[in-house]
Chain A
Amino acid sequence: MNISEMLSYGFMQRALVGGALIAILCSVLGVFLVLRRLSLIGDGLAHVTFGSVALALFFRLHSFYMTLAIIPVVLGSALGILKLAQKARIYGDAAIGIVSALGIATGVMLASMAGGFNVDLFSYLFGNILSITSSELVIAAVLFVIVLGGVGIFYNDLFASTFDEELAKSSGIDTERINAVLVLMTALTVVLAMKVVGIMLISALLILPAVSALQVAKGFRTAIVCAAGIGVGTVVIGISLSFAMNLPTGATIVMINFLTFITAFAARTVIRRR
């Protein structure tokens, strides 16, 4: 099958556009999260998404409404992680662990009450970007504008508080507000990304393009642009390859990302030895 034939399918066009938008968001936010050692927040929020999807399926919500219903639950959980870490005097990873476990437990319990896991729940667990509908693409585009706009507006504050929170505070930056903005944008992105790689593999899309970019980038802005480029490239190649070779899309994207990371790591090692 050639490229023009592949691109002639409407579902492929939607998948490539949707995948690229989501990849940019994941990669850009991923750089901030990885450098703040908050990479696993994506995993935690994905587990909350799993619980929310199970709840939505339990009430037989249409997938369009399902996405809209999940967003406030995941946003609330993201703020819950922050508040737990601040108020309950526990470390961020423990707070992520608590919310993550609660999400999984809710999902398993609801799935059990509904008579076991069904095909729909599995498609959210492992993703199916090829099934993205036009209305879901519209939601993705709107959230893309909101999240990327948020990163653009708060870019310098996000950079400063990621570099060193205490120095940022001493410059008058409200780091608590900036942290809240970052986790809320991550929560929105996680909801979107579950369609691409599935709940199980979301953290890979947040972490791998970012760490690949960090191997080679010289400068913070370069790291962000580089991560976005890697994210889009790997998602587009992954979707195309999975379609051509009849492979699971989410897993293919993750594998391509991993190969990119290995290549970037090797390139860095070679450059350093010179």
Chain B
Amino acid sequence: MSAALEIKNLCMGYHGIDTLKEVSFSVKSGDYLGICGPNGSGKSTMIKAILGLLTPSRGEISLLGTPQTRFSEWQRIGYLPQGLQFFNPHFPATVDEVIRLGRLAGKKFPKRFSREDAVAVERTMEWMDISHIKGCMIGELSGGLRQRVLLARALVNDPELLVLDEPTTALDPETRESFYQLIYEMNRERGTTVLLVTHDTATIGKYASHLLYLDKKVIFYGDFDSFCTSEEMTELFGKHGQHLVCHRH
């Protein structure tokens, strides 16, 4: 199966301090990769480099078979951050307007919406069960619903690769669970490749097929089952860590 993401010798630095050192790994299409590591381990930095939001100091990134520097088909990738960068609760955008913004990815200048875009927005809202709030203002929604809307925005193009950077930090356990169930279904039923950054190793254990443990460099990368029996797992989580990390649903 072809690689959805390939990273070779990726190095990132800021003010002379290394944030990522010689990171290399490859994610096959259809994989569900959980990415974890301590604070400041470079998880979000790597995600930003993958999406072209930060420029690496060295190394190569290939997205869906194309070098990232030449990649332009952003509609094939969905991205959901932890939250909006500077979220303004009074921003006058309705739910359907926000989801439609996702359809701008990959459009050529001058970017105009078509009937096809409207159909895609309606279909995504129905699938995510948020059609009833389509006219609501984004700032008036609860944190859980707002993240669901932003997930709908990320999914409106039916992406091949979905990148989630700590998407459930502000959500209650019940909402978090239904959120991860939805992502899991997408991965299983649609074959969407998922990259999930989270501190929640139990979630990775429950849903991900592969795990990347990052601490400025790759500490472990492989399928989840081999992680559970690895020395790295014992080193990182202790002798009894298997009970915490490796239980499957």
Q: Which residues on A are within 8 Å of B, measured CB to CB?
A: 35, 37, 153-154, 156-157, 159-160, 163-173, 214, 217-223
Contacts and interface: CB of A to CB of B under 8 A. Distances in A.
Nearest to B47: A170
A171 B81 contact: no
Contact of B81 (A157, A167, A220, A222): A167
A158 to B, nearest CB: 11
Contacts of A154: 110
Nearest to B140: A218
B104 to A, nearest CB: 5
Given A169-B53, A171-B101, A217 B92 contact: yes
Contacts of A166: 53, 81, 85
Contacts, number: 79
B53 A218 contact: no
B102 interface: yes
* List of 10 A-B pairs having minimum Cβ-Cβ separation, nearest first: A172-B74, A171-B105, A223-B92, A170-B79, A164-B84, A219-B94, A170-B51, A156-B111, A166-B85, A220-B93
B101 to A, nearest CB: 5
Interface string B188-226: 000000000000000000000000000000000000000
Given A156-B112, A166-B53, A171 B93 contact: no
A172 B105 contact: yes
B240 interface: no
Nearest to A213: B92
Which residue of A169, A171, A173 has the most chain B CB atoms within 10 A of its CB atom?
A: A171
Contacts of A163: 84, 91, 93, 98, 101
A221 to B, nearest CB: 8
Interface residues of B, number: 32
Contact of B92 (A160, A171, A222): A222
Given A167-B79, A218-B135, A219-B97, A172 B72 contact: yes
Contacts of B113: 156
Contacts of A221: 97
29 contacts: A35-B88, A37-B86, A153-B110, A156-B101, A156-B112, A159-B97, A160-B101, A163-B91, A163-B93, A165-B85, A166-B53, A166-B81, A166-B85, A167-B84, A167-B153, A168-B101, A169-B51, A170-B51, A170-B52, A170-B77, A171-B74, A173-B104, A218-B94, A218-B135, A219-B94, A219-B97, A219-B135, A219-B137, A220-B93
Contacts of A220: 92-94, 97
B132 interface: no
B102 A171 contact: yes
Nearest to B105: A171
B115 interface: no
B106 interface: yes
B90 interface: yes
A223 B93 CA distance: 9
Contacts of A156: 101, 104, 111-113
Nearest to A171: B105
A157 B109 CA distance: 10
Contacts of B72: 172
